[in-house]
Structure 1
């Protein structure tokens, strides 16, 4: 009976690890597509930026980095890591 429980736990662990790996790969693919779409929009001269991005830049310039990250996440829907990196690039 103990071996069966151990097998189920190991199988569940393996399934979770596999799922997390696939999610990570999907996130990377989405990020690449978004970067390519941004390049296409820039090439076509279309501004896809949200008007509130000026607020983010202003917050960065006044040293309110955490608030800038929060507003950036609200505007873009980006995760914490991506938003932090983007705000750091602005500063």
Structure 2
């Protein structure tokens, strides 16, 4: 009985490991596709805050309202969150 439980546990562990490997592989494929789409469309993201080049440009030009609007359109963030991120970016530029 105990050997059977150990065998079942090992089988479950092996199946889980195979499943995770497939998930990791699919995730890498999706990341590569997204990177290709971004590159082909000239979109560059800030590695720290993940904002687009357009948002960064608007911040650098002092157009905070435009930057907030762009950020909200790109991310679906609320006004308060977008305002906080844009202010943080403005402080760092």
TM-score normalised by structure 2 residue count:
0.50
- Which secondary structure does the structure 1 equivalent of 2:70 belong to? coil
| CA distance in structure 2 between the partners assigned to 1:19 and 1:11 by the alignment | 12
Match of 2:70 among 51, 54, 68: 51
Which structure's CA Rg is the greater one?
A: 2
The structure showing larger relative contact order (alpha-carbon pairs under 8 Å, at least 6 residues apart) is 1
**Structure 2: gaps of 5 or more residues:** 44-52, 56-68, 75-81
Number of residue pairs the alignment of both structures matches: 61
Deviation, 1:31, is 0.6
2:25 is aligned with 1:25: yes
**Structure 1: gaps of 5 or more residues:** 64-90
Deviation, 1:42, is 2.0
CA distance 1:48–1:61, change in 2 (3 Å): closer
Q: Deviations over 1:17-65 (max 9, x none)?
A: 111111111111111000101122229xxx99781167545424547xx
TM-score normalised by structure 1 residue count:
0.50
